[in-house]
């Protein structure tokens, strides 16, 4: 009986000691975690905090574009000024406008040369490309060559106008670059709703100004 009681007390003592040791280990780990947190917190100095506050409150630097450079780029190669201004969607428009004007001018120039030669040959009584077709008389050939020349001149004028507008657009776009990025002045597309529901919604421009 004494052996059983002794064995029981030894078992109880061992179990209690193990619980105490486990609790102490948890306390030790908790204390180590607090020390690490303290070390991490103290690693951030007051200077770092002040620098971060100043950085967040500082005025954002505005990027400027040179209008003269943008204009020169567009004069050398249409669309290059728009690339400098980061207006990439305008480049196909510029190339399409100038290219179409030049293409129409070249085609009409060929037509003019063709009918001009036939007209001169008809005036001098010589055979020409349209000699076998009685419809092409001197008067008809003269009118066609005049029409081709007129259309050629119009195409050259339109291509030149698009070329000039390409330069003006690049200069103005570069000049207004700062204003477009001003947070107090915003001009952007918007959907306009009718508060009373009398009309359907419409698209337009929204101008916001803060002062």
pLDDT tens for 112-127 read: 999 999 999 988 888 8
pLDDT grade for 149, boundaries at 50, 70 and 90: very high
| CA 114 – CA 108 distance, rounded (Å) | 10
pLDDT given for residue 125 in this prediction: 84
pLDDT given for residue 25 in this prediction: 44
Distances from the Cα of 53 to the Cαs of 41, 58, 59, 137, 196, in angstroms? 18, 8, 12, 87, 46
The winner for highest mean pLDDT among 39-43, 45-49, 165-169 is 165-169
The winner for highest mean pLDDT among 35-49, 128-142, 146-160, 166-180 is 146-160
pLDDT grade for 65, boundaries at 50, 70 and 90: confident
Q: What pTM was estimated for this model as a whole?
A: 0.56
Alpha helices per DSSP H over the chain: 2-43, 46-57, 67-76, 80-84, 91-123, 138-175, 177-180
The winner for highest mean pLDDT among 12-16, 39-43, 112-116 is 112-116
The per-residue pLDDT of the chain, averaged, comes to 76
Q: 66: closest CA among 55, 57, 74? A: 74
> Residue 174: pLDDT above 70?
yes
Q: In angstroms, how far is CA 30 from the centroid of its own chain?
A: 54
Return the structure tokens found at 199: 């009309």
Distances from the Cα of 135 to the Cαs of 83, 117, 131, 147, in angstroms? 52, 16, 9, 17
> Residue 29: pLDDT above 80?
no
């Amino acid at each position: 009986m004494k052996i059983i009681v002794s064995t029981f007390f030894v078992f109880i003592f061992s179990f209690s000691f193990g619980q105490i040791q486990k609790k102490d280990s948890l306390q030790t780990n908790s204390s180590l975690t607090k020390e690490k947190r303290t070390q991490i917190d103290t690693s951030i100095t007051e200077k770092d905090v002040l620098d971060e506050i100043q950085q967040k409150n500082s005025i954002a630097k505005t990027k400027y574009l040179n209008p003269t450079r943008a204009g020169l780029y567009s004069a050398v190669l249409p669309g290059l000024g728009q690339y400098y201004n980061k207006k990439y969607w305008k480049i196909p428009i510029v190339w399409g406008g100038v290219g179409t004007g030049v293409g129409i001018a070249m085609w009409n120039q060929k037509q003019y040369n063709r009918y001009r030669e036939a007209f001169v040959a008809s005036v001098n009584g010589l055979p020409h490309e349209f000699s076998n077709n009685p419809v092409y008389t001197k008067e008809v050939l003269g009118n066609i060559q005049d029409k081709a020349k007129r259309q050629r001149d119009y195409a050259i004028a339109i291509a030149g106008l698009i070329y000039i507008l390409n330069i003006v657009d690049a200069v103005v776009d570069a000049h207004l670059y700062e204003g477009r990025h001003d947070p107090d002045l915003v001009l952007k597309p918007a959907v306009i709703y009718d508060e009373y529901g009398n009309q359907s919604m419409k698209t337009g421009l929204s101008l916001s100004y803060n002062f």
